[in-house]
Amino acid sequence: MSSPRIVITGMGLACALGHDLGTITQKLNTQTHGFSHRKEYSGFKGSSISIGTEIPDFDTSSRYAEDWTSPNGHCLNKENLKALNPHCFYAYHAVTQALGHAQLSSLELGDETGLFTASAGSATNLRYNLNCLHERGVARSSPHGVINSVVGTLSYNLSALFSITGAGCGFASACASSAHALGFAMDQIKLGRQQRMIVVGAEDGDLDTILPFGSMHALSTSTDPDTASLPFDRRRNGFVGSGGASALIIESLESATARGAPILAELLGWGQGSDGYKPAKPHPEGIGLCQAMTLALKDADLTPTAIDHINAHATGTAIGDIVEAKAIHRIFKGHAGLSTASTKALTGHSLSMAGTLEISLEVLAQQAGFTPGTANLEEIDPNCACIHLPKDNALTRANIVMSNSSGFGGANVSIIFKHWSA
């Protein structure tokens, strides 16, 4: 029996480029970034970091969740809000949007729908709750302190808010997390264990989430929002941290067709590979990423020349971009028609949610008929020049796209998808 075909039928976003899919597509098409000066960064204990991102039309700055605001209201009661943190709040809206996009309601999900999530938890809530524990004691600490802060918080809250009774799991492989979640969600459908999966990546994207990367010298120290994120550019000096949420609804083609659902793209295959090298540094030859790309091609039953475009993980760090360029060249050398780009030049690096966010952006570009380039790429690093790196968007659609994600510990994931045409 052949495996079922898998399609994307819904997506929802709350990211640095906005929360409305039309607006996000327009900004992607015009290469309009989502970066700005963040006073809390540059004013924090001698920090050299000043550029970051915000989620337009959301305000989660209050210590009290009932004070948070969003573009569409939240329709959540006080008890639900106490268990949330900013990234769960963003994710609630992203999933609601994705369900609407897929023409589904939470009332019809049932046992055939599962939920896989990815986030690093809420560092701000964890810090606050632990401080309360140490200062006030156990009896005077919040009973919601665990579920609104630890790594599994996204799964705990979304499964309850949307009454998910199918498969449920949270993934924690650093910046490859949501790509892992999507890959394993595809397997759930291929194996016939679920008819449909909701896959969500989300991050607070605030000071406590982002600034610790500054201690690793991984963050951009630029003071100019227009040139702060420079993947593959010799001028790059680190990534711009971001947050928000990205939600995808995937299901079998049979299921989508039976209910007349809109189909946005078809997922063809995925692969993963590990570097087995160092905790926070990629293998210099990119062996894990090479393995991930090779296995994704095998799973999709494609040759390298079938891929039209790669959305690279490329964050703008000195080492990571070079390693990825070398790995792509090793697998795709001789494929003259292949373009590679990093949308992080516009969105920044959204950590755990990067995989689902970047696949969503590429699908939006496919639907609009263009292919993203790497904005602001003026001086290609000679070490990355082994691959084709257009700066400008191409005015034609990439039919088959590969998306790469890499994380600490040498975790690498590649996912292949194609534009849907009936």
User: Does the annotation mark 313 as catalytic?
Assistant: yes
Question: What is the pLDDT, as a whole number, of residue 244?
Answer: 98
User: Does the annotation mark 384 as catalytic?
Assistant: no
Give me the catalytic one of 101, 349, 384, 419: 349
How many CB atoms are located within 10 Å of the residue 38 CB?
Answer: 23
Question: What is the pLDDT, as a whole number, of residue 219?
Answer: 97
Phi-psi region of 217 (alpha: psi -120 to 50; beta: other; left: phi over 0): left
> At which residue do the structure tokens 């990211």 appear?
15
Domain boundaries defined on the chain: 6-419
User: Does the annotation mark 349 as catalytic?
Assistant: yes
Phi, psi of 301 (to 5 degrees): 55, 50
Give me the catalytic one of 88, 93, 144, 175: 175
Question: What is the pLDDT, as a whole number, of residue 221?
Answer: 97
Length of the chain as a residue count: 422
Report which of 132, 295, 324 is spatially closest to residue 232, judged by C-alpha positions. 324
3-state helix, strand, coil in the chain (%, to 5): 40, 20, 40
Give me the catalytic one of 101, 144, 283, 313: 313
Q: What angle do CA 408, 412, 415 make, to 5 degrees?
A: 140
Mode of pairing for the β-strands spanning 339-341 and 265-274: unpaired
CATH architecture of 6-419: 3-Layer(aba) Sandwich (3.40)
Question: What is the pLDDT, as a whole number, of residue 421?
Answer: 85
Mean pLDDT in runs of 10 for the chain (422 residues)? 90 98 98 96 92 97 91 81 94 96 85 96 94 92 89 95 95 97 98 97 97 96 97 98 98 96 97 96 96 98 98 97 98 91 98 98 98 98 97 98 97 98 76
Tokens of 398: 């990439």
